[in-house]
Amino acid sequence: MGNYQYSWVFGDGAIGSSTNPYHTYNSYGTYYAQLYVQSGSQGAYSNVITITVTPPPLSVSASASPTSGYVPLGVQFYASTSGGNGGNSYSWSFGDGGSSNSQNPYHTYYSANTYTATVTVTDSYGQSASSSVVITPTQPQPLTVSDSASAYSGTAPLGVQFWASVSGGVGNYQYSWDFGSGSSSAESPYYTFSSPGTYYVTLYVQSGSQQAWGNTLTITVYQPTYSYSFSESGLPSSASWSVSMGGSSQSAGAGGSITFSGLSGSNSWSAPNVVVHEYQEYTYTVWKTGVYTTTATGYHWVTETGTRTVWKTGSYTTYTTVTQTIREPVYGYRWTWWGGLQRYLIGWKTVTRTYTYPVTHYYQYSVQQTYTYTVREPYTYTVYHYYRYPVSQTAWHEVTLTYYPSPSSGTVNGGGSTTISYYT
């Protein structure tokens, strides 16, 4: 009859009205779709179509680090998944009876063997996947230790280089040296024995759960011995000198040296005074007398009489008259209207005035005088000089000289040299 009307039911609550619809299912599950067609008063149902929606396939990859090593071997496991519906659960079986439900568990193998560790993953939809990784723990070789030293005896301070030779174990060696007077955790330490004595050196090494001892090394440290030398300065060639040290005494001539050997520790020394008998030349002074003459000039006074001219001065005064003609003003006086007296110029007049002033005259004149005077006159005479003068003479005599040492004593340690200076 035509004029068909379509009605689709997709089974997930959705419907459609097209002839050939396209529909998307968003959730996993089983759905039943059916079509109803109406044409006029007629209608008919199609068959039921079953639609099954499943998640993507679930996969897992197992890995581990490390996959081999010495027991006890600690291993970190990892499970990496893809696909599935999520909500995964994990089940590990480590092959040695151990298990875990963690995604990335840590497990320790205590026995040497080959183990297959398997992880099984199940998602929320019920899909499962498995993956395995092989773990090979091995038993380490026995731990062995040997030790040695660069020197086994010597004088203090004695520096010794120690070496450790280790094999077996699981590596990661931990060293413990005991020197008897100190310790070290280095593999090959250098150690100095400062004091004399016998030392027993031991080495202990640990590798994982294994421990081992090295040989006991015997180190003998002796007391050091030293040499001491002495020299002198300041003594005459005929002298001899000596030094006492370490219970003995030695002598040497001037310019020589003295040596003490094989002494240890601190040692005291001393040097005595040096007495020398010798003849010495000396100089002494004898005083003698002499005389010599010189000519000297003396003076005496002589009185004489004579005449001399003496100049004197005098003065007298005269007067000079001078006549001078000058013009002078003539003034008059009058009363003013305000009742005052006012001076006013009438005219000029000519006046002749005469002035007289003194003039002083000075003059000089001579006078003859008689005088008496005394003068010094020289004369010559002879002077006798008496004097003393020294005369140097030489002679010989025997003297005893004592030379004192500096330093005269001391305490020394560790060897060395000392110079003794002698003075009188």
- The string of DSSP codes covering 145-198 is EEEEES-SEEESSEEEEEEEEEESTTS--EEEEE-SS-EE-SSS-EEEE-S-EE
- The backbone region for 208, taken as left when phi is positive above 0, alpha when psi lies in -120 to 50, beta otherwise, is left
Q: For domain 59-138, give the CATH number.
A: 2.60.40.10
Q: Check if 4-53 and 59-138 are the same fold.
A: yes
Given a contact cutoff of 8 angstroms between Cβ atoms, the answer to whether 254 and 234 are in contact is no
Distance CA 108, CA 94 (A): 9
- Per-residue b or e along 169-197, where b marks 16 or more CB atoms closer than 10 Å to that residue's CB: bbeebebebebbeeebeebebebebeeee
Average pLDDT value for residue range 37-50: 92
Closest Cα to residue 138, out of 70, 67, 65, 210? 70
Quick one: pLDDT at residue 288?
A: 84
Q: How confident is the model at residue 382 (pLDDT cuts 50, 70, 90)?
A: confident
Quick one: pLDDT at residue 385?
A: 77
Distance CA 268, CA 134 (A): 80
In this structure, the strands spanning 341-406 and 409-412 are unpaired
**3-state class of 113 per DSSP?**
coil
H-helix or E-strand containing 50?
Answer: strand 49-53
Quick one: pLDDT at residue 125?
A: 87
Quick one: pLDDT at residue 393?
A: 84
Average pLDDT value for residue range 7-23: 94
| Tens-place pLDDT, residues 197-247 | 999 999 999 998 899 999 999 999 998 888 999 999 999 988 999 999 988
Neighbours of 326 (CB within 10 A): 9
Distance CA 419, CA 424 (A): 17
pTM of the model: 0.43
| Tens-place pLDDT, residues 330-348 | 888 788 878 778 888 888 8
DSSP-assigned beta bridge partners for residue 87:
none
In this structure, the strands spanning 42-45 and 29-39 are antiparallel
Quick one: pLDDT at residue 354?
A: 82
Q: What is the DSSP string of 59-83?
A: EEEEEEE-SEEESSEEEEEEEEEES
Average pLDDT value over all residues in the chain = 89
Closest Cα to residue 269, out of 413, 402, 403, 424? 413
Closest Cα to residue 91, out of 65, 58, 128? 128
Distance CA 352, CA 323 (A): 7
| Tens-place pLDDT, residues 111-120 | 999 999 999 9
Distance CA 192, CA 179 (A): 10
Distance CA 6, CA 34 (A): 11
Contacts (Cβ under 8 Å, ≥6 apart) of 99? 91, 92, 93
Given a contact cutoff of 8 angstroms between Cβ atoms, the answer to whether 240 and 232 are in contact is no
Tokens representing 184 are 């070290």
- Is the pLDDT at 6 greater than 90? The verdict is yes
The domain locations on the chain are: 4-53, 59-138, 148-222, 290-380
- The backbone region for 3, taken as left when phi is positive above 0, alpha when psi lies in -120 to 50, beta otherwise, is left
Quick one: pLDDT at residue 307?
A: 78
**Degrees, nearest 5: CA angle 353-359-362:** 175
Quick one: pLDDT at residue 38?
A: 93
- Is the pLDDT at 137 greater than 90? The verdict is yes
Residue written as tokens 């030790």?
147
Quick one: pLDDT at residue 132?
A: 97
Closest Cα to residue 55, out of 26, 84, 88, 31? 84
Closest Cα to residue 373, out of 421, 304, 295? 304
Distance CA 131, CA 327 (A): 163
Q: For domain 4-53, give the CATH number.
A: 2.60.40.10
- Is the pLDDT at 358 greater than 90? The verdict is no
Q: Tell which CATH architecture fits domain 148-222.
A: Sandwich (2.60)
Distance CA 93, CA 77 (A): 11
